[in-house]
Structure 1
């Protein structure tokens, strides 16, 4: 399954525009985000929410920014799409040469935070897409 065929394209969504003077109804395009696992040598380094476009660039930027590999040793990125019971997910798989595995292990960290998208410290797509309990009553606007 391809990423493009699995994740919905950004779609216009109705919104109420408030401004002085006036206002009114408008539309805004909201991109979908999906969990992206950054996988090095078969192990997940991080799971982040991302728009499923340019995953190769996203993985390359993460690899460079985190100091996992220098530019001259950047591995190719294999993008693997998953269709899970909880929704789509993506793995960006990279294979590092043995001399960079020490660097990878040194960069591994558990980042736990109380705010944001809630994925800090999550190290698998399965944990990111766990089933949610049903809402006990109907939602109201």
Structure 2
């Protein structure tokens, strides 16, 4: 059974809201991870000052990191699936309905466009934040390497 234009628009709006929610959740996780990364760098610096830490602590840290990476991969897979689903629905909407039919649902189209703008803005902010975080981590790594050489 083919969906009507309004049903298709409603689905797109719901998926867009879900994507925004997931991106907000991922952003909160990234912020807490950044705090954890700062703690790890501080611990590494103190270990350098005081000598090598215990092997057991290092293994535990690696296990936690691996667990976090798996969780992050699952979240990324969910986001990609939602994005693909949304793209397919948008394609179907414009493929199956004429501009005249879509004009009847102008409010929903405007909502969809507003959510699209929010998604673009959120992704751009997240990308910019990730870039700056990578640069910070690279600088920290260089500083630690230089300190170790002393």
Fold conserved (TM > 0.5)? no
- Higher RCO (Cα < 8 Å, 6 or more apart): 2
Normalising to structure 2: TM-score of the pair?
0.24
1 or 2, which has the higher strand percentage? 1
